[in-house]
């Protein structure tokens, strides 16, 4: 069957990669963290678990090179 009807070529399966850039959700969580909200407050606002918020912030900090939430706020302000 594949010799007669080759598979369609499209984007690879799975989620799109954001490589070293922030994903839209990571950026959203990072902005809320930079504004001073706690993980619990961010979780309640975005209907996420506090652990998921923690993971998003950790990834955002790693990707931006931030060492603290204050540093994250500074780095997000520089890129905006």
Each residue's pLDDT expressed in tens, for the chain with a length of 80 residues? 556 776 677 777 777 778 789 999 999 999 999 999 999 999 999 999 999 999 999 999 999 999 999 999 999 886 54
pLDDT for res 80: 45
18-25, long-range: CB within 8 Å, 24+ apart, which pairs? 20/63, 21/63, 22/59, 22/60, 22/63, 22/64, 25/56
User: What are the structure tokens assigned to 47, written together?
Assistant: 């209907």
pLDDT for res 46: 97
The torsion angles phi and psi of 18, rounded to 5 degrees, stand at -110, 5
Fold for domain 24-79? Arc Repressor Mutant, subunit A (1.10.10)
User: Per-domain residue ranges for the chain?
Assistant: 24-79
């Amino acid at each position: 069957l594949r010799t007669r009807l080759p598979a369609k070529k499209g984007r690879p399966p799975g989620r799109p990669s954001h490589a070293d850039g922030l994903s839209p959700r990571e950026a959203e969580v990072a902005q809320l963290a930079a504004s001073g909200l706690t993980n619990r407050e961010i979780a309640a606002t975005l209907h996420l678990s506090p652990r998921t918020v923690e993971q998003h912030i950790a990834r955002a900090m790693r990707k931006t090179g931030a060492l603290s939430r204050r540093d994250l706020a500074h780095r997000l302000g520089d890129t905006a």
